[in-house]
Amino acid sequence: MLETIWFLLWGVLWAVYFALDGFDLGMGMLKPFLARDEYEKRVIYNAAGPFWDGNEVWLISAGGVTFAAFPLAYAAMFSGLYTALMLLLFALIVRGVSFEFRSKVDSPGWKAVWDGCQVVGSFLPALLLGVAFANIFQGLPLDQNQVMHGGLLDLLNPYGLAGGVLFVLLFLLHGALWLSIKAEGDLRERAASTAARLWPVLAAVIVVFLVYTWFATKLFTNYLTNPVLFLILLVPVGGLVMIRVWLAARRFWAAWGASAVMIIGVTLFAVVGLFPAILPSSLNPAWSLTATDAGIKASSSPLTLAIMLGVALVFVPIVIGYQFWVYKTFSAPVTREDLEY
Amino acid sequence: MDAILLSRLQFAAATMFHFIFVPLTLGLSVLIAGMETAYVRTGKELYLRMAKFWGKLFLINFVLGVVTGITLEFQFGTNWSRYSAYVGDIFGSLLAIEATAAFFLESTFIGVWVFGWKKLSPKAHATVAWLVAGAGNLSAVWILIANGFMQNPLGYVIRNGRAELNDFMAVVLNPFAWQQFAHTILGAFCVAGFFVLGISAWHLARKSHEEFFNASLRIGAGVALVASILVAVQGHFHGNEVARIQPVKLAAMESHWETRANAPMYLLQIPGENGNVLEALPVPSLLSILAYNDPDAVVKGLNDVPAADRPPVVITFWAFRAMVGIGTIMPLIALFAWIKRRDIGKYPWFLKLLPWAIPLPYLGLQAGWIVAEVGRQPWIVHGLMRTSDAVSPISGGQVGFTLAAIIVLYSLLGAAGFFLAGRAVKQGPDAAH
């Protein structure tokens, strides 16, 4: 029971991370295409300003919870995906620094360097997270000793890359919607029309990815056993539809919320499909790392899981509370007065 | 080269680089929160300008600390996966608690601190400063409890082929962890104190912004004095605990080879990996006194430890001496600065010296961590798991590549940060951005 709760919490943490950091990664990728001058560039940086650091901690938490609740899975996943994860880290490092350093020196060369870091540092995490998760969905070449075979190039298979494209598009749309909230005037119009143009592309890619998933993975097995679970699909599909509706009505907050719900729904759909495996083995299902006793049990002792659950029940609501307050406090569009970065 | 040595180098490089920025974050955040509180209480503009000037330096430093910290959490999985699988039940939960209870708070409110000057009242903004400072120091508590488990594992039982938690409070209340926390946090306040002191002195030597930097210098001198005295005193008790719990580490710190009572300390000593190359001028019983507060105490020597279980003696010995040496100089400098704080302008040579003292506590802390971590070898978890059994099943080539990338990337970022901090210092308070 504790294992199942933690499996779901594990999925929820990743989902919240994607829904929050997704928009600032998306804006980072959009910046070179949307900003026409230095002021607009700074608006985009400052639209992420008060939030990006707090958002990124959801990734640290998701990593930390994998470590704490499923140490065997953490060990196998992080060592197995070694090169991909290191690239992700380097990207996040240069990206984080670019926020703080860019505006400190008034020279075009200096700014161009950090702008480049911001774009690469936003694109690579989106792509790599998609590639990594798609590979997890279809199973990793894990042997009976929880050692993964193959390297970065093996991850770049067609299904893995499809996952990467899906994540990039999810985050691009999410970022365009956030910028529609936080920018004013011409930049807002460009962001909104970009979102409108991204929408059909994303909708098509989601459909293709779902069909591809049917053939490339075993994610649908749980759904076919319990068809009632297919109701979960209503969440991402509903989110996707409502983005279009609210975007047309120029209700940008609602559209962004729908996009967040869609991202969370997509993640939960996959996580429920994975259960009880955290890392399915493509070599032999019995070598999969799981939350329960099917395959190799990767979870922590009941005592650790219980203590962690207590910590999560106390602190996660507090975190959600103050992060919500931060979003509310900085909900207004960015003006010239607000430029700190 | 093999994955184990490269992984150790990589972890050492990543931690030591991370630990250039963290101590200043811990100490300076508290000073800034204090300045903002002084502003709220007195309404004096000077304190607000102080919080903003030191805050700018804080932010440059903070971001480098944060981004390099992310690497560390992931490295346990990428490079030390067998360690993660073996002790993750305990160690992983401590990292997860740190993220949930402390790091979230710090990272969320640092954004509010930067962007909230116009959106929040001065009182609310000062509260945010305290939240950032408190959360950062709370992070240090959890991280050092996690490290304390590696130094003095408690509260576990070996079951299912790994260490499983059986007493959470024993892990959290690990006395070794709390000694280490006290020692590290006091070291961090030395860093902050000497940082403020040195930069203030640099400006005062140039007679620029004298009112501002005289006030800052007094704060820096006070913090540096109190912290550097406390870190030395507390360091003695920490040493007593190392002697009791990790006698082999203590023997390596002193390059002490023969187990004996009334163990002397040599004023002239050159250590080697198999015995002292030179030992002269013994002070009888001094080592027994320092280690156990008892001249008759028996101090275990390295000859009683199989060679395979000894830490690298030469590195541990010299790092310990560097730390103690710096710990002796720091209070003297801070004391002089404190005594002369009201007419420090009369001592231009001292004002010119103080910026050069900024690196001292940094070096002391790095040396201290070398003692703590190298001195624990060959164990990754003291007495429980060997470092050589902890490494991931990955190729040396992969690690070599990322090690090189980390060194290049971190050097570039460090240089950029240093350049920006230097610029901000030169511009002084009241610079537009």
CA distance A215 to chain B (A): 31
CA distance A309 to chain B (A): 10
Contact yes or no for B104 and A76 at CB 8 A = no
Q: At B250, give phi and psi (nearest 5°).
A: -60, -45
| Mutation to test the B interface, candidates A97, A102, A324, A330, most B Cβ within 10 Å | A97
Q: Which helix (H) or strand (E) holds B103?
A: none
Q: Which residues of chain B have pLDDT under 70?
A: 1, 432-433
pLDDT of residue A206: 94
Q: What is the ipTM of this complex?
A: 0.92
Residues from chain B that touch A61, judged by Cβ atoms under 8 A, are: 96, 99-100, 104
pLDDT of residue A189: 95
pLDDT of residue A294: 82
Distance CA A168, CA A22 (A): 9
Contact yes or no for A64 and B168 at CB 8 A = no
Phi-psi region of A316 (alpha: psi -120 to 50; beta: other; left: phi over 0): alpha
Q: Is the minimum CB–CB distance between A308 and chain B shorter than 8 Å?
A: yes
pLDDT of residue B1: 62
pLDDT of residue B417: 95
Distance CA A103, CA B250 (A): 48
pLDDT of residue B432: 58
Say if residues A317 and A9 touch (Cβ distance below 8 Å): no
Residues 6+ apart with CB under 8 A from B427: none
Contact yes or no for A71 and B64 at CB 8 A = no
Q: Which residue of B has its CA nearest to A145?
A: B393
Say if residues B81 and A71 touch (Cβ distance below 8 Å): no
A-B contacts at Cβ under 8 angstroms: 220
Distance CA A219, CA B37 (A): 55
| Mutation to test the B interface, candidates A93, A117, A145, A146, most B Cβ within 10 Å | A93
Residue B379 bridge partners (DSSP): B386
Distance CA A9, CA A34 (A): 36
Distance CA B156, CA B167 (A): 7
Contact yes or no for A304 and B165 at CB 8 A = yes
B360, amino acid identity: L
Q: Which helix (H) or strand (E) holds A90?
A: helix A82-101
Q: Which residue of B has its CA nearest to A148?
A: B393
Q: Is the minimum CB–CB distance between A153 and chain B shorter than 8 Å?
A: no
Residues from chain B that touch A101, judged by Cβ atoms under 8 A, are: 60, 63, 416-417, 420
pLDDT by residue for chain A (341 residues), tens only, comes to: 899 999 999 999 999 999 999 999 999 999 999 999 999 999 999 999 999 999 999 999 999 999 999 999 999 998 888 889 999 999 999 999 999 999 999 999 999 999 999 999 999 999 999 999 999 999 989 888 888 887 778 889 999 999 999 999 999 999 999 999 999 999 999 999 999 999 999 999 999 999 999 999 999 999 999 999 999 999 999 999 999 999 999 999 999 999 999 999 999 999 999 999 999 988 888 898 898 888 888 889 999 999 999 999 999 999 999 999 999 999 999 988 888 88
Residues from chain B that touch A337, judged by Cβ atoms under 8 A, are: 118
Residues 6+ apart with CB under 8 A from B174: B145, B148, B149, B152, B154, B155
Mutual angle of helices A185-216 and A252-274, in 10-degree steps:
20
Of A74, A93, A322, the CB nearest to B409: A93
pLDDT of residue A138: 92
Nearest residue to A212 (alpha-carbon basis) of A277, A270, A290: A270
Contact yes or no for A56 and B417 at CB 8 A = no
Of A56, A85, A90, the CB nearest to B409: A90
Residues from chain A that touch B119, judged by Cβ atoms under 8 A, are: 329-330
CA distance A199 to chain B (A): 30
Against a cut of 0.90, is the pTM above it? yes
Listed in sequence order, the DSSP H helices in A228-284 are 234-248, 252-274
Q: Is the minimum CB–CB distance between A172 and chain B shorter than 8 Å?
A: no
Of B73, B93, B424, the CB nearest to A308: B93
Q: How far apart are the first and last CA of chain B?
A: 47
Outline where DSSP puts E strands in B244-288.
260-261, 265-270, 278-283
Distance CA A310, CA B302 (A): 45
Query: Taking the mean position of all CA atoms in its chain, how far away is CA A251?
Result: 23
Contact yes or no for B104 and A315 at CB 8 A = yes
Q: Which residue of B has its CA nearest to A307?
A: B168
